[in-house]
Amino acid sequence: MNSQSKKMELLGSASIPKALLVMGIPTMIGMLVNAFYNLVDAYFVGGLGESQMGAISVVYPLGQVVVGLGLLFGNGAASYISRLLGRGDKENADKVASTALYSSISVGAVIIIIFMVFLHPIVKLLGATDSILPYAATYAGIYIVSCIFNVFNVTMNNIVTSEGAAKTTMCALLIGAVLNIALDPLFIYVIDLGVAGAAIATAISQVVSTCVYLTYILRKKSVFHFKINYCTYTKETMSEIFKIGIPTLVFQILTSVSISLINNAAGNYSDSAIAGMGVVTRLISMGSLSVFGFIKGFQPIAGYSYGAKKFDRLREAIKTSILWSTVFCVVFGLVLALFPVAIVSQFTKGDTEMIRIGAASLRANGISIMLFGFYTVYSSLFLALGKGRDGFILGACRQGICFIPVILLLPMLWGVNGILYAGPIADVLSAIITVFMAIPLHRKLNDMQKQTAAIDTNNN
């Protein structure tokens, strides 16, 4: 059996535990290491001072918006591609993959140029104080330009995962992350480039990850063929990409907005508050990105099973994914909740205010992240099934619908504690909303299974 047939067998007929392990664990490891090098950035930059630490915290959401463009086309295409492969429509799957890849690079380049032209006012809008602004502008000037490679990487990450090649995604993320971890101390301290060194290290790692994906394409390992003349902008193709991609992009934008709102609210107190919340954001992203990585493996299995009308397989994949992701979130959350002071202390030279604020927030977020796996599985499931509206609602809950009103109102009523507990409150509200949306989905899947069984009986 050749490698392409093995990928299709994995998506369509391998046992669910095996398929999730083979598809989800490599991507999870890659995303975990990717999140870890964001922490390493914070660790080494934190040694420079609170203003420098605040600078990378302020710029972080800007990079997330650019990466969102890769998710717009990559995640939108991946959902459609999985369903096309489930139906056996390889020709259209090729066209969708090519359209997504070349479109993301083109749009990403335009957005990056706009960001660079208006860099200073954008960074101020994101919460940079006068003391943080010079460092933030330096870091962003390098980091944002290099994000064109990350747009390519994120798009390919989704497309490659949709065809069952999760190990390639893991290798690309892993190699880039390990390189970044090695280069950070070299450029920041040995060559003495400060925050610019952190940005350069990240840029180099992104270029290397791009080379991994290019090698995968050029050696014809992919199920797909990426050609410019395959790009097709028909109404059907673009609507299928956008109905899933736009909710994903909105989620990224809302994530950036929520981080910016935290930074602006914390800026009313001190640079230490911004730095403390920035550390918490990166620590929580370690857990959330790990879950997202695992769910990346779940999504193509769900989409393929739905397209092939294998409803029992789909239902088993949902249950197993919820169980495994929740167990991970509970263990991860307990570590954060039980040892918050010791963890946050690693990112400062002894700023007691930063430690106090960061530890209090980390304790609360450690408890609430235990719910994250549950509502993330369903948010991703709706998108995998092509139900963009429902996926959008759930995806927007944590970072937008539930979070934004809380972060705007609570600090006025509760001071700095309102900033610390806004995220956990949004987590609880998101989990409650998920329950009410999951019940009718399962009823509909049961009805579809009965209809399919009735048709098969009549045909026989």
Q: What is the 3-state secondary structure (H, E, C) of the chain?
A: CCHHHHHHHHHHCCCHHHHHHHHHHHHHHHHHHHHHHHHHHHHHHHCCCHHHHHHHHHHHHHHHHHHHHHHHHHHHHHHHHHHHHHHCCHHHHHHHHHHHHHHHHHHHHHHHHHHHHCHHHHHHHCCCCCCCHHHHHHHHHHHHHHHHHHHHHHHHHHHHHHCCCHHHHHHHHHHHHHHHHHHHHHHHHHCCCCHHHHHHHHHHHHHHHHHHHHHHHHCCCCCCCCCHHHCCCCHHHHHHHHHHHHHHHHHHHHHHHHHHHHHHHHHCCCHHHHHHHHHHHHHHHHHHHHHHHHHHHHHHHHHHHHHCCCHHHHHHHHHHHHHHHHHHHHHHHHHHHHCHHHHHHHHCCCCHHHHHHHHHHHHHHHHHHHHHHHHHHHHHHHHHCCCHHHHHHHHHHHHHHCHHHHHHHHHHHHCHHHHHCHHHHHHHHHHHHHHHHHHHHHHHHHHHHHHHHHHHHHHC
- In a domain, residue 1? The reply is no
pLDDT at 173: 80
First to last CA, the chain: 31
Task: Pick 11 or 52 by higher pLDDT.
Answer: 52
Task: Pick 2 or 9 by higher pLDDT.
Answer: 9
- In a domain, residue 145? The reply is yes
pLDDT at 178 over 80: yes
Residue 18 belongs to domain spanning: 11-451
- Span 191-205, average pLDDT: 91
CA distance 344 to 120: 29
pLDDT at 288: 87
Contact status, residue 77 vs residue 106, Cβ threshold 8 Å: no
pLDDT at 460 over 70: no
Q: Of 33-47, 48-62, 235-249, where does mean pLDDT reach its minimum? A: 33-47
Task: Pick 323 or 303 by higher pLDDT.
Answer: 323
Name the residue among 68, 52, 31 with its Cα closest to residue 279. 52
pLDDT at 97 over 60: yes
Task: Pick 60 or 341 by higher pLDDT.
Answer: 341
* pLDDT tens-digit map of 402-444: 888 988 888 888 888 888 888 899 999 999 999 999 999 999 9
pLDDT at 242 over 80: yes
pLDDT at 21 over 90: no
- Span 228-254, average pLDDT: 83
pLDDT at 8: 67
- Span 265-281, average pLDDT: 81
Q: Of 67-81, 175-189, 199-213, 422-436, where does mean pLDDT reach its minimum? A: 67-81
* pLDDT tens-digit map of 353-399: 889 899 999 999 999 999 999 999 998 899 888 887 888 888 788 87
Which of 13-27, 93-107, 123-137, 293-307 is most confident?
Answer: 93-107
pLDDT at 14: 81
Backbone angles phi, psi at 47, to 5 degrees: -70, -15
- Span 157-177, average pLDDT: 80
- In a domain, residue 328? The reply is yes
pLDDT at 7 over 70: no
Number of domains comprising the chain: 1
pLDDT at 1 over 60: no
- In a domain, residue 5? The reply is no
Q: Of 8-22, 122-136, 178-192, 428-442, where does mean pLDDT reach its minimum? A: 8-22
- In a domain, residue 3? The reply is no
pLDDT at 5: 62
- In a domain, residue 368? The reply is yes
% of residues, the chain, pLDDT over 70: 96
Owner of token pair 């979070």: 403
pLDDT at 160: 84
pLDDT at 362: 92
- Span 262-290, average pLDDT: 82
Q: What is the mean pLDDT of the chain?
A: 85
pLDDT at 4 over 80: no
Tell me the residue type at 147.
C
- In a domain, residue 40? The reply is yes
Tell me the residue type at 181.
I
Task: Enter the DSSP assignment of 132.
Answer: T
- In a domain, residue 456? The reply is no
